[in-house]
Every structure is written in structure tokens, then in C-alpha cells.
Structure 1
């Protein structure tokens, strides 16, 4: 690329062709102030604060939109520049309310900072006050457009970064302002309350509603969001040992300048009055507070005693997708080495295990094959069984940018119409649970179009039958196949709608076969992306918190793998595979499982009818958690744990990105980091020295997990590291399988996919639970996040207008969903795209969803939970 030389403030500098003056100045360390510019957005030159002087012509140029040219001589602080800047700032201030002292933005207001730098006190011009009422009806954002300087950053952030389109310029001339369609409030627009516009706004025109601290908080720390598996980097701002604000960390992050509503506004659960503060033991039928010494001694003694009396297999361990890599590693080590049981599982059993098992069998990997940023370079994207807008919003931003800004074609398979279906080239609306059948038909169509040989396992299958059961038109599948075959690069995205459907493991294997047929593995803009994961689902499974695998996905049933681990541990772990969670609960019901240790999960809330009796039959239940959950109420030992801002460790995102989380707050009361608790129990059960810090645990992980041999805490301070990282000087492999994919272990079995379930005339509707942007998992955290709870306070049920009319229901009618196991109250809304006979339930932030309406179904092949669904009837409340 051509190098261009210019002179900047008398100093010769050079830049690349196409760079603007502002970009080059920032690269060489020369500050030019701006208001409308942000490196994440396209430059527009709206504010003119960045003016510089070109010496030869004496012209003032907007540096953010002026490209450098050979021989330019630029002055950034000449008298003409400073005077022009001062005039521009005064004109802005003349139309700005004189309320800086009480402005919510405080000293974070960039207009105020620039005015102070320019020495502007009183404004020399007649005031042009704008009297606009502030809007603060929602719990997230406050809009005071009297403070707007028309920089357009909020509009560009909305349209370029998160690609929602909720905001644009409204009206023209002196009346121009950023507004929503028909100038409605944000809560009645397409806004998703991600907070990107507020974070990027240079003034108080957009600010946080009811902020906990005005201005710049005195302390901030870099860490990682604790909700979904995207692994967003955040800045946590603190004041007087309290989290007061979260902002995106753009540098070296997957999220750049964006977050979602959960990540931005949903972490105040850390300060809930509901936190567990002291360890407790059950004495005389009641939980009473005890010292940590007594709690750890008693817990270790009971686990060892039950293992000695009934055998180690009588004890089970259930770890967490919210706990760190280090904590999950110690947890499975406590199970296998401290107690000697192979029965260790984690919360991925509710979401991702079938996908992990399928990808391991097909590709010998378990995570996304590419980083999420590669989605933006795909020519075609297939999304099936996923609701990225709600489950993994930052991934959905990349999807939308690919379509809107790069012209990618989207094939979207989802039973609900949303922003992605509206921008899709093809939207396929299936009966929920039939996604695997659609993939079968799609794979067959692609193979025939490419002139390949149909494999034997697929040849006998009837695609017409697949699509009839899916309620999908065959022409849509044929059109989708043609688009996929004509593309140079395809990305395949799947979620719980596929992996947790009946035969989900086989469905994911079929998706991998489709990826092979399309040659989208190991190439730029291609890949497979599993959007079925929480904050550290990937890491929990990487660490071996699964009955099928030891750390690093080595088979727990392979003697050679156990012998390898024994070299590090000094003792061979028990032969596996052990029991999964559903098998542990069934064993408890039979009286075979006597003790269960649950860390950071709440199975009693997720599957109440299934787990309640099983937990009651245990001799000893240990619960390690932040909150007194329903499961915690049944425990014999309660160990209060620290939250994600109160401890140190690492998370691994769905794209295999390993990142540090840091302790920036002290745990409340007597709560302790999970690593500290587990280290104490390992000392008592396995006679091992206690780990001094999580860094010591990571050092051991790097010695026992082959994919992480090159990972060290010190290296995580810089650019991101992806596993596999076997070289202590490299950053790992961002794109896997560049050298080709390994041969799959076994062909998919289509017979395990969706079966036709006979309808019960008493309960004629099928209710399925859909993803919520304001809720995560069993709602333990979102129900305690005040803003999420206040905004998403209603459980909604969507149904076809025909069914609404047949039942005599109107919009917003309060209804009851009744099943054989319970009932759920909700607000009914019609959605024309929903198939007759289908109900889609959107839980509130603190709602239970379908938890009380049906026992959770389990896929026997992967021992994974199926998407929650229930046969129900619908009645009007009070009717």
C-alpha cells in the first residue's frame, strides 16, 4: 500500500493511502478534539470541532473526513483553528441549557470538557434555548434533547453498529432532532435498550436513567460479561465499593463499542439484598449459620463418609456454566480425585451438550470453528434453531451488519417473525422441533445440486415427509439450497432450537455434514457457530465437567487418557463415563445416589417436577451459590459464593476466546470465591495443598489441558487468546480446520429426529418457550436485576389470530395455560406467523416460563435436555 508523507504541526509524518488527517494524527499521538467522530462509526464531519488548517491554502478542513494527500502541511492548533473551534463551541453552548451542575452526564460530557479547554465561560451570543421535555419512562435511558448537538452519533450507532433502525433524524432545519418513527418514546419503538447510543453520546442528551453516580466514577476495571457466551469485554465502574455503571470495552473485544441490555444494565444483581452471606448447615431440620471451618469440615467429612459407605458412585457433582474455568477444573478434580466419583456434569446439560458431542464426533472440536467477527465476511448465512436477537445479541449485530452493510444473504429458520426474518433472503417458518428434518431436506437438495453422491444413510429418507412434518414448503428449501451452492463462503449458525430438539445431537451432526458439503470449514467467512451457550458453557466443558470427558475432551472411558491425567494428578481418575444429571436424579429416586454437590445451578427451578422428589431422597445435598434458590432451600450444606466481579479467573466464550475476569468488588458478608471453597475441600478430601490463587490453577490447567498449554495469566493482559493455543508465544488458532476436517466417527441417524406426538384432546395446544432479551437461564440473576425485572414484568403468550378468535380472546387478554402438571398466567397477543395450535411463551425477567407445566424431556442419545414444551389448554383468567 502506498505511503503518503505530510507535515503535521511542523513534524514530518507518513500514513497509508485513504487515511484521514484525524486518523493519522491519532496514530502519531497528536490530539485533535472531536464531538461527532468515533472510530467505530463512519465519519460524517457534522460538528466541525475537528477543524485543522492547511498551510498552503489557509483553508480550514474537517480532519475526520479529509484524506491525507502528499505534501500536505497541516496545523492543528493555529490561531485560525483555535478561534474557529471556540466559535463553534460557543454556538453549541448558546443552544444548550445552562444545567451542567445538575446534568446526569456530569464531567463525562465532552462538550463541557472542550468548553473548559477552550476557556469558555460566558457565551458571547444570544441564547437560543430549546425547551424539550426529558423522557424517562423506561428504566434504562433518559432522553433530554435540549442538550443534543446533532452530532448524529446515536443514529449512526443504532444503524451501523447494532443495526436496529430505531432512530433517525426527525424533522428538518432548526427543528431537526434524533427521533424514533413517529417520534414515539423509545419503549414503543424498535429499541432494544442496548445502551450503545448512550455510551457514545458526547453530551447529556442521552444518559442512564436514575444513575447511581453522576459523572466519572473514581475506579474502573476491565472484565467480561457474565450472561451469554459471546464473551463481551466490559468496563466496570465503581464508587464506594458499588458497581455504578458498565460500558463496553472496544479494544481487542468481540463486542467493540456495543453491549446488550443484559450486559449493560443487568449486573446489579450483585448488590441484591437476597445474597447469601454466611455458610450454613442443616441442624435439627433447619439451616443455621456456621463458620467456614465447620462448614468445610462437615461437607468434606459427609462426602467422604457417604463415598466410603455406599461407594464413590453414590455421589454426584453438578457444576456451573457461570463459574470460571479454574472453578470448574477444581470442581471436577474434587469429584474425581477428592471423592473418587465419575459422576460429574454441568449446566450445559440444559443447553449445549448435544451440540458439543456432535461436533466432537464429527470434527474433534467442541466450539465455534471461527471467531464471531468472521460472520461479517460470509456471503451467505444460515441461521437455524436460534434466536440470536434475544439469546446472543452481539452475535446478531454481526449477522445484521453482514446483511445490511456487506450484502450477505440470510437464510433464517425460525417460528417467530423478527428483525432477522424481515431482512432474510429466505425465511422458513417451521413447526418447532422439526429443524433437524429441515436440515435433512436441505442437505439432500445441496448434494443433488452439486452433483455429489447421496450417502447411504440419507438415500432412503423421503424429503417430502420431512417437510410435511415441518409444515415447510419444499420450494423454500430448494431456493435455500441454490443460494448456498452458489456462494463462495457460507456460515452456519445454530442454537438450542436445533441442539435441544428431539434428536438434537443428530441434527447438529447433519449440520456439520452440510458444512462439509458446502466447503465452509477452515475458510474465511465460513464456519459453524453454536449459539446455545452461556457465559462459560464452553469453558466448563473444556475443563472436563462432563461425565463423558476428562479435561481437554479426553474420553473418561479411555484408560490411556486416564493414565495421562494421572501423571499430573499423581492418581488415576475413576473410569467413566459417569452419570449425567438426569441419570443422577433417576438414581436418587431409586435410592442409589446418596449425595449431590451443586455449584452455581438451580435444577429445582429448571425442572421442578423432575428434581423435587429426587433431591428430597438424598442423604446429603451441598449447594454452592450466590442466592437462596429453590434448590438451596433443600440443601444440608450451603456455601455462599462470590459473583463475577468479586473473584478472579477466566471465561472461555463460544468462539473459544479465553479472557480474564477480575475481582473489583469485595464479596458481601462471608461469601467467598468458588476457587477458595473448592481448594479448601480438596485439601480435606484429597490431602492436597491449597491453591494460593486462581493463577496457580491456570498453571495446572495449562499442563493438563492440551488445547491450553500456551495460556498464562500474564499473556491474557494483551491481545485475545483462542484455544487451541499450544505455543506460549502465540495467540492460538482463530480459524480451525484450515488443513481439512478429520473423518467423522459415525453417520447421523435420522430416525432419532422429531417424531409425531399424538395430540391430547384435553390439552390441544403445544406450548413452547422462546428466548427473552431480558432473562437468562433459570432467571436467578435477571430476576434480581432491578431494571430488567421492572421492564420485563409480564409473561406473554403469542398465538395465531385464528386461535384467538376461536377462543374469543382479544389483545392483552389475561389467560391461563393449563397442563397436567400445573398452570401459568400470561398476557395473550396475536402473531399471524405462528402456526395454528402453537403457543409461544415469552417469560418475564423473573418468570418461570414453562417450568411448572411439563417435565423436561431428555434426549437419550446425548442425555441432554430437550427444548421445553408442554401440551396445554388455554383459558381466560376469571372465565
Structure 2
């Protein structure tokens, strides 16, 4: 510790702190313009100068370390005069339109000028005359107001790690280079807006449809409704409208947002929002009252149960709805309707994770925390285009490599953006994850790199596992994967020798007919090297949607109650029967693909879909269309009239995530608050209210006045959530398991022992995809997400800027393949599989190999999922969305 005196106040602080940090630790504020605690101190603005007794000149508080016995004055006459002169110099070139500037009230320069009584410059500097750059759809750049604090550049390089901004020229012409003066689509900029959030003045400002003063708005803290990162943000609201979104500097995002979280909320006020219930009459959906809609739905449920039995009904819950709403949805089907036919879109993305990791480790969730990304020595990314699907985690991976010494391995079928940061990049053939893992583990065992002590003390079935790897050399793996054997060896050595190594994966691993085996192979690799149960390591599946983790936790699955408690175990069934006051079914229900199969076969008569859009998201869309057309009665509950809702007999208007209260659980198991910021549009209602009113209409009396009461019920039946309540997560979320009211939550899983006791090695044999290429279908199609769209575009499809950047379906094809087929970049082509055909735009790119094409699955027009294969994983029934055989035809 170091003892110093600041403004006469004695302080004891940690050695290595700066004067600025020391002062703030004892409540003394030193003004800054360029400082950000997340950035390396650089002293560009010099507003933080302080007087240190004995020093020949004033020192910058943000970059000067404390020293024993130091005496510091932060507001001496010399300091104040220096700050006044600095402000006058800044004003000499700064555009003086403070009365009309949109930053007024939040401008740090304005605030400091007021504090130090500076209202004009004493210097005759020539005002800047830069042209305003408004080429970005979301914000504009006005360099005439730039004070060259360099905060935007450093946020872009040190935190976002995109390097889209830089400083050009020297002397009086020094300026920040805007990233997209010519072509945003070819810029390094990803429109995250993190530079905009960091700018202390009005040089970087979001575009606004209407002007407003910051003080006219109120702030509402909530959780982002897009991907599974669960970023914390503040909605600025005026007259029941969201005017702006600001990032919050707290876990898990720590002040960062992506383009969707920062600029993707205009869908809330889109005129297409559903505002009244719709009932199909004479073939057309027409507006109706809630009373009519409830009466019709309730009567159809009763009629179907009486005529066909409870198992003729099924429901799809939603990864976009809150925990409380998913809990009620599965309760509606189990306790009121009497069936376990309840599932949701996790079946399409991480069902194999839940099955695979639950079997090997005892828990199917991300083992470690997002903040631990930067604590790893080695990071292994496979089956995840992280910078696009989970942008904030992608940025943290880059931070780990650039600034924390981590070494990166990437194994992907496409040359994703993270590949350029990787020490080892393995461009594997789609679907060959098991072969790669087995090849790596063969090397580790052959060279004795395994953690044998960990294996002996904490695992079981090692001998059988080791036997299964006999003969699976890196050469064999390389031949299957389409990579070099030596690169497999290098990756194996790098991962095995690390003190702390973490694996991050997503749907490139899970969406296969052998997806469970893919996940088990990853678990085997981590167990082999002892990289589970420690900080900065682990097996970390990245959940795709905002609450897909929570929807699983809440039992929106056909085989488990909330908390992954099996529906076919008598003691557990008895527990829930007592809690809910009814008899419950004991048999596992149908999964999502099985529900659609049964619908097409005529065995599911009534289907209730909440917040999901299978007419875009599910494989083999021609099959989905037949299934939805075959049910006797379809209810869809959503915020827009989706492609799925077009088939419905009743459509219920739901509130969006910013129009209700509740909780989401993010990919790191963190349960976080969702807060109502604006009133629902029209007659739309929160999903929890709709379900509650329907339950009452069906004779099951429940009274929930607020979602916190539902959470209280959840904690009584879900051990992992036992210690969670709204009061405890008011300021910051808690990570489950959190079994009691005094439990702090669990940062990382399996410390000391695994949830299942000992970690289980599972021998996994590589098997190819359900569908191979042939002469007729010579190319492998793989699908995925892109940064500028989300899921089925229900929300992002109504955000103008996002659609300006990424407006339509496309197919990435290698230049050699394009030349062979006579296809040029931008040409419309036909893609055909054994299930259907679509037209899309060719995008010639070297990201893919010659025999592979890639398509994003977001678009209803040119839908990739017309082509994809619904072949199922035998263990968890996840479809093989990630790979199928296609041909390409010129039009």
C-alpha cells in the first residue's frame, strides 16, 4: 500500500494506481475528457492536471502513478488556471453552436467550461471546416466539434478491437479519420456505436428522427432482447417512445454494445406491430376483442381434449420471452392442458449441448463467465462466428489476445473475422468437429500431455475412452477435416499445455445429426487436459437468443420440469403435483420436430406458438408449411404478423421486451432484470398476462399481480434459482446455481467436483453427416447468423439501418467455384437441395472453400431453411440444420 495526501486528505491506496484513481477512491473528483477506466491512460486532453508538491510542472492525474508520501492538490490556483487555458485552446477551433447542439446537457466540454467559467476563447484559432459525414445509417461524424481526445480511437482499438478509426496528419490538421466516407459495406466499421457512446462532445452523434433534450428523457435500465450475451443498457424514454439506447458499464458487457443493441430498437414503434387480437373468419384474419379470442381458444382446447385427449395438443414456448412467461407456458400445458408436449427453439440450437454436457458433466450450461474470457491463456473457438453472433464476447476474445497474452485457436468451415487473430486457424469441412477433437486428443495422449492427476481424481471411464481413440491419428483426422495434420498437432499441444484454456462453441458444433457426440467430444478434450472447474477455462456453449438459457431452465422442454427435473421420475412428478395442485402426465412429450411431424400426420390437432417463427427458423420449410396447414387450430402469440402467424386461426398481440417486466437468463447463467420502459402498443399485453388470463378461463385459478410473484413461485420448485429474487438482482444479476438467499451465485461450475460427481469420458466415433454430396448435389451448404440481422428478422426486419446494410438473402461461393459455374458476384442464382429450391444472390468470397457454400438463415425470401435437412440427432432430436447437399444453377 502507498500513503499519500490529496487536498489535505490522507489516503492509503494500492501501489500502481494513478493519482486520478487514488483521488476517486476517496471521493475526490478530478475532471477528465479523454479518460476511461477501461482504457490505457494516455493523457491526451490534459484536463486532469494536478499539482504535486516538489514537481517542476503540473502532472497528468490519469497517467502519473502514486508514490509514498506524495502530496497532491487537484484544484490549486495553478491547476485551475491551467485547465482554463486548455479549455480556451479547445474552444479556439471548436464549433460554437452549444445552444442548438444535440449533445447539450451531456457535453463534457460544456460542463467543464461552466465549472471553470470559460465562455469564449482568448485565442484566434481558425474554426474547423470539415464536411459532416452522415454515410453511416446510425450516426454522423462532425469533426468540427472534435477535441482530439482520441477516446473514440482507443475504444475502437482497445475494447471493440475493430480498428476502424485512426488519427491522421500532425499539427493543426490532425484529425480522426471517419471509417466510411466512401463505402460502409467495405469498411472495418461494424456500426457498434461504442465510439459514439464514448465521445465526450458532439463530434459523434446518433441519428435521430426527432430532436430532444437529454433532460426531457427518463432512463430505464434493462437487458438487451437480442443475443444471449445479456448486455445491460439504458433506454432513454420521452412521451412513451424510446429515443436512444446507452450502454451501461457493468457485467456482462462492461460498457460495450453491438449494432443491434445500440441502434436496433425502432421495431418497438413500428406501424406493423400487432395491436388487437385477430381471428380467422371466412379465410381472413380480422380484428376481434380479447374476450372473443380467449373464448374461442378456450373452447378449442376443451373440445380437442375431450375428443382426442390432451396429447393431441402441443405448445411452443419462446427463447425471446421472459423466464416468468416460459414458466407459465409450460405450466399451462402441463398443469392445465395435461400434456408434456411443450418445446421451444433450443431444440434447434443447443439441445445437443444440454444432452451432451448433462451426460458428461452433469449440467448443460456454459461453465464459466463472460468476464473470464480475458483470463484464459488459450482460447479455442469452434462452430462459432463469435464477432457476429455474440459481438461483445467476440470483442473480449480479441482483447484477451491483444492485451492479455492469450493465444487463439479457431476451427471453422469459413474464414471468419476471428481467424485473422488466431495463431492457428483450421478451416475444417463442415460437420467434422468430432474428427478434429479425436485427432487432437490422439496427439495429447501420444505425447503424454494429458493431466493424468486430474483424470485419476475427477473423472471416470477413461480407459474405454482412450481405447476408442486407438488409430485415430492426426493424419486420419486431417484427411476427414480437410486440414493439415501438423496444424492439428500444433492446436493439440497449444491447448493441452495451457494452464487455463477455454473452449467457446455454438451451432456449428450442435446442429448436426450427431450433435450430441460433437458436444461430448469437446467435453472429452477439456476433461483430458483438466480444463474444467477452474477460472478462465471451461466448456462454454454460446446460447444464441436472449433467453434460450432461461427457457430451458424454466422447463420449456418435453422431458423436464423447471430446473431440468425429469417428468418421468415419480418423486419429481409428485413434487410438482403438490406445488401446482393437480395430477400431471408422467410420459415425456414430443420435441419440436416431432410436434411438426405429428401435425402433418394429423395427430396434433391444436398448436399454440408463443414468440417463435418456425416458418423461417426450422429446417425443410416445405414440411413446416404442410404441418402448420394440417393442424385443426393454430394460435400464434407475437409482436408482429410473422410468416408463421399467417397460418394462424387466432393471433394474439404480445408486448415486446421493453413493454413489460421480468427476467432473462443469459448465456453465462446470469439471471437479470427486464424492465418496462414504455406502455404496450394498442391492446397488446405481456405474454405472462395473456397466459394467466387463459389459465383462469380454462378453470385453473391463478393470481399473479406482477412477474416477481411468478419468480417467487419459480424459486420454490427450481433448486438452481432458489436464492434469486427481484430484490437481489435489482442492481446486478446473479448466476445460477444460487440455491439459497445468502448464496452469492456461481461464477464458474464444477469447482472441486462435477455436478454429476465425476466427469464422464464418453467414447465418440466420428460419423459423417446424414446427407453427403454426390454428382447431382456436389456442394455442401452450411448456414449461420450475420451481425446485422437476428433470428427470423421479426425485430431487425423492421429496423431501417440494419436492412440498409444487410437487406437480402445471399450465398457465399468461392471464386474458383463461381468461375467454374460461370457465376459473377451479385448474380441471382438458383440453389437446389433434395427438399426444395430457392433463388438468392451470389456473393463471391474466399471465406469458404471450393466445395462449400454459406447462407444466412434469417431471410424469409430466399430462405436457406427451404433447403436444410431435418434429419435428427438420435439422442436429443436436434435437426441437422448446419449441413446439407445442394447444387447451384444459373438462371
Q: Distance in 1 between matches of 2:841 and 2:116?
A: 55
* Match of residue 410, structure 1, among 394, 408, 411: 408
Range with bigger deviation, 164-173 or 489-498: 164-173
Q: Distance in 1 between matches of 2:415 and 2:79?
A: 52
* Match of residue 789, structure 1, among 803, 814, 834: 803
* 1:677 matches 2:690: yes
SS of aligned partner of 2:550 = helix
In structure 2, the residue matched to 1:759 is 773
SS of aligned partner of 1:350 = helix
Query: Which residues in structure 2 correspond to 1:413-428 (within 5 Å)?
Result: 413-428=411-426
What RMSD in Å do the two structures reach over aligned CA positions? 2.2
How has the CA–CA distance of structure 1 residues 218 and 551 changed in structure 2, closer, same or farther, with 3 Å as cutoff?
Answer: same
SS of aligned partner of 1:777 = coil
Q: Is the 8 A contact 2:360 2:762 kept in 1?
A: no
How has the CA–CA distance of structure 1 residues 285 and 845 changed in structure 2, closer, same or farther, with 3 Å as cutoff?
Answer: closer
In structure 2, the residue matched to 1:358 is 356
Report how far residue 119 of structure 1 moved: 2.2
* 1:703 matches 2:727: no
Summarize deviations over 1:43-79 as a string: whole Å, max 9, x none.
1111011112224557422111122223333222222
SS of aligned partner of 2:596 = helix
Report how far residue 457 of structure 1 moved: 3.5
Q: Distance in 1 between matches of 2:325 and 2:770?
A: 42
Q: Is the 8 A contact 1:804 1:830 kept in 2?
A: yes
* 1:770 matches 2:781: no
SS of aligned partner of 2:657 = coil
Summarize deviations over 1:190-228 as a string: whole Å, max 9, x none.
111111111001112111134544441521111001111
In structure 2, the residue matched to 1:735 is 748
* Match of residue 37, structure 1, among 31, 35, 38: 35
Q: Is the 8 A contact 2:332 2:691 kept in 1?
A: yes
Query: Which residues in structure 2 correspond to 1:53-64 (within 5 Å)?
Result: 53-57=51-55, 59-64=57-62
* Match of residue 284, structure 1, among 275, 282, 298: 282
Q: Is the 8 A contact 1:680 1:690 kept in 2?
A: no
Q: Distance in 2 between matches of 1:749 and 1:614?
A: 37
Report how far residue 450 of structure 1 moved: 2.4
* Match of residue 722, structure 1, among 726, 731, 735: 735
In structure 2, the residue matched to 1:622 is 635
Q: Is the 8 A contact 1:320 1:599 kept in 2?
A: yes
How has the CA–CA distance of structure 1 residues 756 and 467 changed in structure 2, closer, same or farther, with 3 Å as cutoff?
Answer: farther
SS of aligned partner of 2:502 = strand
Q: Is the 8 A contact 1:343 1:580 kept in 2?
A: yes
In structure 1, the residue matched to 2:602 is 591
* Match of residue 128, structure 2, among 123, 127, 130: 130
In structure 1, the residue matched to 2:843 is 829
* 1:652 matches 2:677: no
In structure 2, the residue matched to 1:493 is 504
In structure 2, the residue matched to 1:241 is 240
Query: Which residues in structure 2 correspond to 1:547-586 (within 5 Å)?
Result: 547-586=558-597
How has the CA–CA distance of structure 1 residues 597 and 842 changed in structure 2, closer, same or farther, with 3 Å as cutoff?
Answer: closer
In structure 2, the residue matched to 1:479 is 490
* Match of residue 514, structure 1, among 525, 533, 543: 525
Q: Distance in 2 between matches of 1:147 and 1:335?
A: 58
In structure 2, the residue matched to 1:455 is 466
Summarize deviations over 1:561-601 as a string: whole Å, max 9, x none.
11122221122421131100111111112211111110000
SS of aligned partner of 2:110 = helix
Instruction: Give the count of matched residue pairs.
Output: 874
In structure 2, the residue matched to 1:24 is 22
How has the CA–CA distance of structure 1 residues 163 and 124 changed in structure 2, closer, same or farther, with 3 Å as cutoff?
Answer: same
Q: Is the 8 A contact 2:654 2:686 kept in 1?
A: yes
Q: Is the 8 A contact 2:792 2:859 kept in 1?
A: no
In structure 1, the residue matched to 2:432 is 434
Q: Distance in 1 between matches of 2:583 and 2:394?
A: 44
Summarize deviations over 1:278-331 as a string: whole Å, max 9, x none.
112223333232222232232123212211221111110100000000000000
How has the CA–CA distance of structure 1 residues 812 and 750 changed in structure 2, closer, same or farther, with 3 Å as cutoff?
Answer: same
How has the CA–CA distance of structure 1 residues 185 and 589 changed in structure 2, closer, same or farther, with 3 Å as cutoff?
Answer: closer
How has the CA–CA distance of structure 1 residues 622 and 484 changed in structure 2, closer, same or farther, with 3 Å as cutoff?
Answer: same
* 1:806 matches 2:824: no
Q: Is the 8 A contact 2:442 2:473 kept in 1?
A: no
Range with bigger deviation, 789-798 or 401-410: 789-798
* 1:544 matches 2:543: no
Q: Is the 8 A contact 2:616 2:858 kept in 1?
A: no
Summarize deviations over 1:686-723 as a string: whole Å, max 9, x none.
52222111010000000000101101101111343110
Report how far residue 809 of structure 1 moved: 3.0
Report how far residue 819 of structure 1 moved: 4.0
SS of aligned partner of 1:803 = helix
Q: Is the 8 A contact 2:616 2:643 kept in 1?
A: yes
Q: Distance in 1 between matches of 2:185 and 2:739?
A: 48
Report how far residue 758 of structure 1 moved: 4.2
Q: Distance in 2 between matches of 1:41 and 1:364?
A: 39
Q: Is the 8 A contact 2:791 2:858 kept in 1?
A: no
Range with bigger deviation, 40-49 or 61-70: 61-70
- TM (norm. structure 1) is 0.96
* Match of residue 195, structure 1, among 193, 196, 217: 193
Q: Is the 8 A contact 1:320 1:347 kept in 2?
A: yes
* 1:636 matches 2:636: no
Q: Is the 8 A contact 1:224 1:231 kept in 2?
A: yes
Q: Distance in 1 between matches of 2:202 and 2:853?
A: 43
* Match of residue 622, structure 2, among 600, 609, 621: 609
In structure 2, the residue matched to 1:232 is 231
Q: Distance in 2 between matches of 1:733 and 1:602?
A: 34
Q: Distance in 2 between matches of 1:158 and 1:498?
A: 30
Q: Distance in 2 between matches of 1:847 and 1:283?
A: 27
Report how far residue 275 of structure 1 moved: 0.7
Q: Distance in 2 between matches of 1:257 and 1:790?
A: 26
Q: Distance in 2 between matches of 1:361 and 1:60?
A: 63
Q: Is the 8 A contact 1:682 1:690 kept in 2?
A: no
How has the CA–CA distance of structure 1 residues 825 and 97 changed in structure 2, closer, same or farther, with 3 Å as cutoff?
Answer: farther
Summarize deviations over 1:350-384 as a string: whole Å, max 9, x none.
21111111111111112111101111111111111
Range with bigger deviation, 534-543 or 749-758: 749-758
Q: Distance in 2 between matches of 1:591 and 1:202?
A: 62
SS of aligned partner of 1:45 = coil
Q: Is the 8 A contact 1:457 1:748 kept in 2?
A: no
Report how far residue 460 of structure 1 moved: 6.4
Report how far residue 504 of structure 1 moved: 0.7
Summarize deviations over 1:832-855 as a string: whole Å, max 9, x none.
352222212246777554023345
Query: Which residues in structure 2 correspond to 1:813-852 (within 5 Å)?
Result: 813-819=827-833, 821-842=835-856, 849-852=863-866
Summarize deviations over 1:642-693 as a string: whole Å, max 9, x none.
0010000000011000100000100000000011011111222252222111
Range with bigger deviation, 467-476 or 519-528: 467-476
Summarize deviations over 1:748-780 as a string: whole Å, max 9, x none.
464573247443434432222232001111121
Report how far residue 339 of structure 1 moved: 0.2
Q: Distance in 1 between matches of 2:280 and 2:4?
A: 75
In structure 2, the residue matched to 1:347 is 345
In structure 1, the residue matched to 2:456 is none
In structure 1, the residue matched to 2:459 is none
Report how far residue 391 of structure 1 moved: 0.6
Q: Is the 8 A contact 1:104 1:211 kept in 2?
A: no
* Match of residue 165, structure 2, among 147, 167, 170: 167
Q: Is the 8 A contact 1:850 1:869 kept in 2?
A: no
Q: Is the 8 A contact 2:141 2:178 kept in 1?
A: no
In structure 2, the residue matched to 1:303 is 301
Q: Distance in 2 between matches of 1:185 and 1:644?
A: 34
Q: Distance in 1 between matches of 2:593 and 2:183?
A: 46
Q: Distance in 1 between matches of 2:859 and 2:788?
A: 5
In structure 2, the residue matched to 1:687 is 700
In structure 2, the residue matched to 1:120 is 118
* 1:82 matches 2:96: no
How has the CA–CA distance of structure 1 residues 297 and 811 changed in structure 2, closer, same or farther, with 3 Å as cutoff?
Answer: closer
In structure 2, the residue matched to 1:337 is 335
Range with bigger deviation, 856-865 or 132-141: 856-865
Report how far residue 787 of structure 1 moved: 1.5
Q: Distance in 1 between matches of 2:567 and 2:473?
A: 38
